[in-house]
Amino acid sequence: MVLCTVILAVLAAYAIAKIYFKLTTGWCKSQTCLVGKTALITGANTGIGYETALDFAKRGARVILACRSKSKAEEARSRIISETGNENIVVKIVDMASFDSVRAFAREINESERRLDILVNNAGIISYGDRTSKDGLPLLIQTNHFSGFLLTHLLLDLLKKSAPSRIVNVSSLAAAFATKFDVNQVEKHISNGDDYNNSKLCNVYFTQELAKKLKGTGVTVYSLHPGVIKTDIINTMDGIRKIGFTLMMNFMSKNPEEGAQTTIYCSVAKGIEELSGEHFADCKRIKPYKTALNEGAAKKLWEKSERIVKL
Ligand SMILES: NC(=O)c1ccc[n+]([C@@H]2O[C@H](COP(=O)([O-])OP(=O)(O)OC[C@H]3O[C@@H](n4cnc5c(N)ncnc54)[C@H](OP(=O)(O)O)[C@@H]3O)[C@@H](O)[C@H]2O)c1
């Protein structure tokens, strides 16, 4: 009897959570056509990045899938072409855990592409513990922040040439929990949870500072929280955290198509140019997180990032 009650309560909570998330998910209703435009998405072979690429392909864009695995990217390309009929889908290889790879990739894009209208910095991991990249940085902060910072800089001229153009940085509500953020320690491993929160706050600060520097260029920039989405990102975690997150994702998550809506909105919605530098969720601008209100930290992070990526 008690067991039945518990099972019923869990099922009811599950159903309520699912209904809540279905009702509150924001959908991008913009009909913007992307024929003649080029969009580049990092980490586009799966999850939010894949759904974003699929949407851009449906809108007629030339879509560059910037991925680290050729086989996974080619498979995603085939699926997008067969679903949309858009054959203008290109695979390019980049490892966001290596500055050399990011530089080589940007060089190739600058040489081969005539324009770039949308850059989506989406690739990300949630953990991998204290693993270090070959550049000597924690894998997480390099993948989630420094490489996106470098890539954006290396593609800025092309974006400016293609203006009006947009940069979209996929951050997370996790940024709101980065209460221990210290710009002086940002390139150091603290703990798996803190590292992820800090990296996602870096995405927000980068967006704020970049928006200031791009004023008047016709290039606008946005950060966003996509929601909680059940994706492969969970596989970059381990231990008890993975179990906790798996449970949370089963209860509270959107599907990847729903999770891509705010990225798509920030990339294509008309009339949000004035909101450059702001943070979005569920296809709406939201109030900045308290952790993201330190202009001084944003500026310091910018300067530190320039030094670390050797701009
Ligand atoms: N899922 C959520 O609940 C959630 C919530 C808030 C924010 N986000 C953010 O959303 C973004 C996308 O995450 P997702 O949930 O869609 O995860 P996902 O399904 O795991 O996709 C992540 C993508 O990033 C790629 N990637 C990881 N490391 C890379 C590297 N070194 N070089 C190049 N590509 C790399 C992955 O490639 P492989 O397939 O080769 O690994 C994959 O294509 C991330 O920035 C994440 O922080 C997600």
Q: Three-state secondary structure along the chain?
A: CHHHHHHHHHHHHHHHHHHHHHHHCCCCCCCCCCCCCEEEEECCCCHHHHHHHHHHHHCCCEEEEEECCHHHHHHHHHHHHHHHCCCCEEEEECCCCCHHHHHHHHHHHHHHCCCCCEEEECCCCCCCCCCECCCCCEHHHHHHHHHHHHHHHHHHHHHHHCCCEEEEEECCHHHHHCCCCCHHHCCCCCCHHHHHHHHHHHHHHHHHHHHHHCCCCCEEEEEEECCCECCHHHHHCCHHHHHHHHHHHHHHCECHHHHCHHHHHHHHCCCCHHHCCCEEECCEEECCCHHHCCHHHHHHHHHHHHHHHCC
Q: If you measure from the C-alpha of residue 10 to the centroid of ligand 1, how many angstroms do you get, rounded to a whole number?
A: 30
pLDDT single digits (tens) 34-87: 999 999 999 999 999 999 999 999 999 999 999 999 999 999 999 999 999 999
Residues whose CB falls within 8 Å of the CB of residue 125, separated by 6 or more in sequence, listed in order: 139, 140, 143, 144, 233, 236
The confidence score (pLDDT) of residue 252 equals 76
The confidence score (pLDDT) of residue 249 equals 79
Q: What residue owns the CA closest to ligand 1's atom 43?
A: 43
Domain boundaries, the chain: 34-309
The confidence score (pLDDT) of residue 3 equals 79
φ, ψ at 170 (rounded to 5°) = -80, 105
Please report, for residues 227, 231, 239, the alpha-carbon distance to residue 244 in angstroms, rounded to integers and kept in the order given: 17, 15, 9
Q: How far apart are the first and last CA of the chain?
A: 66
**Contact indicator for 52, 120 with CB cutoff of 8 Å:** yes
- Ligand 1 contacts (CB < 6 A) are 42-43, 45-49, 67-69, 72, 94-97, 122-125, 143, 170, 172, 225-226, 228-229, 231-233
Question: Which of 135, 232, 264, 280 is the pocket-test mutation for ligand 1 (most atoms within 8 Å of CB)?
Answer: 232
Q: Cα separation of 132 and 142, whole Å?
A: 9
**Contact indicator for 209, 152 with CB cutoff of 8 Å:** no
The confidence score (pLDDT) of residue 24 equals 86
pLDDT single digits (tens) 96-151: 999 999 999 999 999 999 999 999 999 999 987 788 999 999 999 999 999 999 99
Is residue 196 flagged as an active site residue?
yes
- Looking from the CA of residue 231, the nearest atom of ligand 1 is 19
Q: Which of 162, 86, 85 minimizes the C-alpha distance to 119? A: 162
Among 163-177, 213-227, 234-248, the minimum mean pLDDT is found in 234-248
* Number of Cβ within a 10 Å radius of residue 53: 32
Please check whether the domain covering 34-309 is classified as CATH 3.40.50.720: yes
pLDDT single digits (tens) 81-92: 999 999 999 999
Mean pLDDT of 2-27: 82
Of 14, 50, 128, 196, the catalytic one is 196
At 291, the pLDDT band (50, 70, 90 cuts) reads: very high
